[in-house]
Amino acid sequence: MAIKKFMFVNRKAPYGTVYALESLEVVLIGAAFEQDVSLAFVGDGVYQICKGQSTDGIGMKNFSPTYKALGDYEVTKLYVEKESLEARGLTLDDLMPLVWEDEDDDYAEKPSIRLVSSEELATVFDEQDVVLSF
Amino acid sequence: MPFEANGKTFETDEEGYMVDLGSWEPDCATVMAELEDQPLTDAHWEVLNFLREYYDEYQIAPAVRVLTKAIGKKLGKDKGNSKYLYELFPYGPGKQACKYAGLPKPTGCV
Amino acid sequence: MSTLHTVNKSPFERDSLSACIRLASKGHAILLIEDGVFGAMAGTDHSDMVSGAMKDATIYVLGPDLAARGMSEDRVIDGIQVVDYSGFVELTAKHETCQSWL
Is residue B89 domain-resident? Answer: yes
Between chains, do A69 and B60 touch, taking CB under 8 Å as contact? yes
Assign A57 to helix, strand or coil: helix
**Structural domain total, chain A:** 1
Which range marks the domain in which residue A39 is found? 5-133
Which range marks the domain in which residue B66 is found? 3-100
pLDDT truncated to tens, each residue of chain C (102 aa)? Answer: 799 999 999 999 999 999 999 999 999 999 999 999 999 999 999 999 999 999 999 999 999 999 999 999 999 999 999 999 999 999 999 999 999 999
CB < 8 Å to C69, chain A: 13-15, 47, 50, 53
**Structural domain total, chain B:** 1
CA distances from residue B55 to A39, B30, B66, B86, B89 in whole angstroms, order as listed: 22, 19, 13, 20, 19
CB < 8 Å to A33, chain B: 108
Is residue B106 domain-resident? Answer: no
Which range marks the domain in which residue C24 is found? 3-101
CATH of residue C82: 3.40.1260.10
Between chains, do A65 and B70 touch, taking CB under 8 Å as contact? no
Is residue B107 domain-resident? Answer: no
Closest Cβ opposite residue B73 in set A28, A29, A107: A107
- Listed in sequence order, the DSSP H helices in A18-63 are 19-32
Inter-axis angle of helices B64-75 and B42-58, nearest 10: 110
**B109 carries an active-site annotation:** yes
> Subunits with at least 3 CB pairs below 8 A relative to chain C?
A
Sign, CA dihedral A90-A95-A97-A101, equals negative
State the complex-level ipTM. Answer: 0.93
Q: What is the pLDDT of residues A80-94, one digit of tens each?
A: 999 999 999 999 999
Beta bridge partners of C61: C32, C82
CATH of residue A65: 3.40.1260.10
How far is C51 from chain A, CA to nearest CA, in Å?
Answer: 15
Q: Mutate which of A22, A25, A28, A101 to test chain B, going by most B C-beta atoms within 10 A? A: A28
CB < 8 Å to A88, chain C: 12, 38, 41, 44-45
CB < 8 Å to B62, chain A: 69, 72
Q: What is the pLDDT of residues A18-65, one digit of tens each?
A: 999 999 999 988 776 778 999 999 999 999 999 999 999 999 999 999
Closest Cβ opposite residue A72 in set B62, B107, B108: B62
CATH of residue B59: 1.10.10.370
**Structural domain total, chain C:** 1
